[in-house]
Amino acid sequence: MNSIGNIIGEICKVVLPIKQEFYPGNPNSQIAICTLASISLLDDLKDSGILSNVAIIGRLFSENKGIDSMIQYVYENRNIKKIILCGKEVWGHKSGHSLLQLHKNGIDENYRIINSVSPDPYLTVSKDMIEYFQKNITIIDLIGKTNLETISKKVKIS
């Protein structure tokens, strides 16, 4: 990311502090939930009792560091097989779109997510981690959905 982007990111951390990034759940579950920019959905899901049925509930704000972290997490926690991608997209970043494009198309020689519309979709994780993600993870695309019942049903049938 460029230096202006880094400065803006640091200002946002101070002006708009976000208290929680993720909630761990049942380590034996094969399901993770990503709420994208929907912070209230993250908390609502935690409070709903769904954590006993999922490995982790987390958010994803950025198309680079955030996706890097997600890829590394599922690589290190190989019991996870499905990610339910829900909630509202991050305006301007389209991190959910980038995650779907990464899963479908991978990266180019510069580690840029192929076909991403995000402004800075460059990853730093290894190609092995990305290939593992592409081959071993199923993404259930519920981008834009914030209804707890809709998301809970996907957890139950997964």
Residue-range domain boundaries for the chain: 12-157
pLDDT at residue 57 in the model: 97
pTM of the full structure: 0.87
C-alpha to C-alpha distance for 103 and 57, rounded to whole angstroms: 19
φ, ψ of residue 83 in degrees (nearest 5): -120, 125
The architecture in CATH of the region 12-157 reads 3-Layer(aba) Sandwich (3.40)
How far apart CA 112 and CA 123 sit, in angstroms, is 6
Contact call for residues 56 and 23 (beta carbons, < 8 A): yes
Of 149, 150, 142, the residue nearest 34 (C-alpha): 142
| Mean pLDDT confidence for 20-26 | 88
Taking the C-alpha atoms of residue 39 and residue 18, their distance in angstroms, rounded to an integer, is 8
Decide if pLDDT at 81 tops 80. Answer: yes
pLDDT of residue 7: 57
Task: Identify which of 25, 98, 31, 100 has the alpha carbon closest to the alpha carbon of residue 65.
Answer: 98
